[in-house]
Amino acid sequence: MEASNLAVTNPRAALPSSGYPVISKMDKKGATLLLFLVLLAAAAEADAVHGAGQRKEEVAAAAPTTTHLHFYFHDTVSGKSPTAVRVVEPPPAAASSSSPTSMFGMVNVMDDPLTAGPERGSAPVGRAQGLYMGSDQARLGFLQAMNLVFTSGAHNGSTLALLGRNCPLDAVRELPVVGGTGAFRFARGYALLRTRWLDARTGDATVEYDVYVMH
C-alpha cells in the first residue's frame, strides 16, 4: 500500500457534484488501516496506565479459593438484653388472610453473636447484623438479609452478605452468599443452617452455620 493512502485530505474535496460523498475502494482501505493504528495506540496506552499491578490482581481473581466456615448463631429475643428486636408486629391473621402461625408481616432486626462453639459463652467469631421478616402467608418463612461481620481469626474485619429464604422449622435451610468484603471480595456460595436449640416459649434459638464460600 502506498503512503498516500494515509494522507488526510479535506473531505469536502471528495464530494461529487451531487453533494453525496463517494468513498472509493482505496479510501476504505486507508481508513481501515488508520482505525487499526489508532486502536493499537489506545491499547498500548491503556496497558502503560494500568501497569503490571492490575494484571497481577486479575490473575489472583481468576483463581478463587473455597473456604468452609463453621460457627453458631445465637438469636435472643427475650429478656433484658435481646440481640434481636421486633420492629414490626405481624398484623392479625384475620386481617391479612394469612395463617396464624406464619408471622406474615413481622420484621425483626438483629445484631446476633456468632461463636465457635454451641454455648453462648464460647469464643466469639463475629456478629450477624441484619433483619428477618415473615414473608410467607402459608407458613413460617422468612426473608433473611444480613451481613456476617467477622471479628476474630484470619477473617477478622471481613464480611459476607447473605440474602435468602429461611423457614426456621425446617431441619436444614440454605441461604445464598451474595457477596463479601476484605478477604471475601468476589464471594459467592451458600450457607446451611440447622437449629440446635430452641426455646419454644420465647423463640430464643441457637443455629449451627456451615458456610461454603468461593472468593
Beta 188-198 vs 205-214: how paired, if at all?
A: antiparallel
Residues 20-79 that bind ligand NAG (CB under 6 A): none
Residue 167 amino acid letter: C
Q: Residue 100 or 157: which CB sits closer to ligand NAG?
A: 157
Residues 144-173 that bind ligand NAG (CB under 6 A): 151-152, 156-157
Please give the backbone phi and psi of residue 183, each rounded to the nearest 5 degrees, phi first: -65, -20
Neighbours of 102 (CB within 10 A): 19
Q: Are 74 and 120 in contact (CB under 8 A)?
A: yes
Q: Residue 149 or 162: which CB sits closer to ligand NAG?
A: 149
Q: Are 185 and 64 in contact (CB under 8 A)?
A: no
| Count of residues of this chain found to bind ligand NAG when the rule CB under 6 A is applied | 4
Give the shortest CB-185-to-ligand NAG separation in angstroms. Answer: 17
Give the shortest CB-146-to-ligand NAG separation in angstroms. Answer: 20
DSSP 3-state percent helix, strand, coil across the chain (nearest 5): 25, 40, 35
Alpha-carbon gap, residue 13 to 25, rounded angstroms? 16
**Which residues are paired to 114 by β-bridges?**
73, 126
Q: Residue 64 or 157: which CB sits closer to ligand NAG?
A: 157
Site mask, ligand NAG, residues 103-142, x = CB under 6 A?
A: ----------------------------------------
Q: Residue 99 or 151: which CB sits closer to ligand NAG?
A: 151
Q: Residue 32 or 152: which CB sits closer to ligand NAG?
A: 152
Alpha-carbon gap, residue 29 to 36, rounded angstroms? 11
Q: Residue 155 or 215: which CB sits closer to ligand NAG?
A: 155
Give the shortest CB-188-to-ligand NAG separation in angstroms. Answer: 25
Terminal-residue alpha carbon distance, the chain: 51
Alpha-carbon gap, residue 41 to 100, rounded angstroms? 69
Residues that bind ligand NAG (CB under 6 A): 151-152, 156-157
